[in-house]
């Protein structure tokens, strides 16, 4: 009886180094290394499922999912947050310096490691935005905070009238609407003019 399992999948499931190399290439080709984590999504469901099977065999994969993208679907998964450091140690550094910097940031993030005093993160964000406009990703990397903390702080500061969106970063690393927004303090806007 003929084995219908693809040879590449069989190799990856029998050899951890091959599995890791395949996942690394998938991240470099179609993966997303972003402010919130690392994802691998493809338009072809079979390719995505094969990659998920490989990642899951290593214990790296969150559940497989499907998401709507414009007029079609993408299929894939994200890498478990607690496995990002292990994964980076096996494949880093990446050839793209921006992706590598973000991957390293995600790898070293640990909950409650950098506990700041109440209001300190807010103060640091305001100080940083007085210098020049920045995206969520830039603030996250500069201040060594998570994307969710950065977004929450910016929402609160915006509600209080202290910061605002002043445009979009040209050639942003991530082109989604939310991550390309440039934020600035309202005081900076008054003193520097519109950017």
CATH 3.90.1150.10 fits 7-95, yes or no: no
113 pLDDT more than 70: no
Give the per-residue pLDDT at 193: 46
Give the per-residue pLDDT at 191: 47
178 pLDDT more than 70: no
Please answer whether residues 5 and 57 qualify as being in contact, where contact means their C-beta atoms are separated by less than 8 angstroms: no
Domain with CATH 3.10.28.10 in the chain: 7-95
pLDDT bin (cut points 50, 70, 90) of residue 41 is very high
Domain with CATH 1.10.10.10 in the chain: 120-192
Section 41-54 average pLDDT: 96
77 pLDDT more than 60: yes
pLDDT bin (cut points 50, 70, 90) of residue 86 is very high
Q: What's the fold here for domain 120-192?
A: Arc Repressor Mutant, subunit A (1.10.10)
Give the per-residue pLDDT at 187: 73
Section 20-24 average pLDDT: 96
171 pLDDT more than 70: no
> Mind listing the pLDDT tens digit for each residue in 152-166?
999 999 999 999 988
Contacts of 73 (CB under 8 A, 6+ apart): 43, 45, 66, 67
Long-range contacts of 54-57 (CB under 8 A, 24+ apart): 54/9, 54/12, 54/13, 54/19, 54/22, 54/23, 55/19, 55/23, 55/79, 57/12, 57/13, 57/19
Give the per-residue pLDDT at 111: 52
Give the per-residue pLDDT at 53: 97
Q: Cα 159–135–141 angle (5° rounding)? A: 115
Section 176-193 average pLDDT: 66
pLDDT bin (cut points 50, 70, 90) of residue 195 is very low
Q: How far, in whole angstroms, is CA 185 from its chain's centroid? A: 25
Please tell me the pTM assigned to this model. Answer: 0.77
């Amino acid at each position: 009886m003929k084995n219908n399992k693809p040879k590449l999948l069989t190799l990856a499931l029998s050899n951890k180094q091959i599995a890791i190399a395949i996942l690394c290439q998938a991240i470099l080709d179609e993966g997303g290394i972003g402010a919130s984590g690392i994802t691998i999504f493809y338009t072809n469901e079979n390719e995505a499922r094969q990659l998920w099977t490989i990642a899951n065999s290593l214990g790296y994969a969150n559940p497989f999912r499907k998401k709507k993208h414009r007029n079609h679907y993408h299929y894939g998964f994200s890498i478990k947050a607690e496995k990002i450091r292990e994964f980076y140690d096996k494949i880093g550094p990446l050839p793209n310096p921006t992706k590598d910097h973000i991957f390293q940031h995600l790898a070293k993030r640990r909950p409650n490691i950098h506990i700041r005093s109440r209001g300190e993160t807010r103060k640091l964000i305001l100080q940083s935005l007085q210098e020049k406009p920045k995206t969520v990703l830039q603030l996250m990397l500069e201040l060594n905070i998570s994307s969710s903390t950065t977004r929450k702080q910016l929402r609160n500061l915006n509600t209080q009238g202290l910061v605002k969106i002043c445009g979009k970063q040209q050639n942003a690393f991530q082109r989604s609407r939310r991550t390309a927004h440039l934020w600035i303090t309202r005081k900076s806007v008054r003193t520097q003019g519109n950017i």
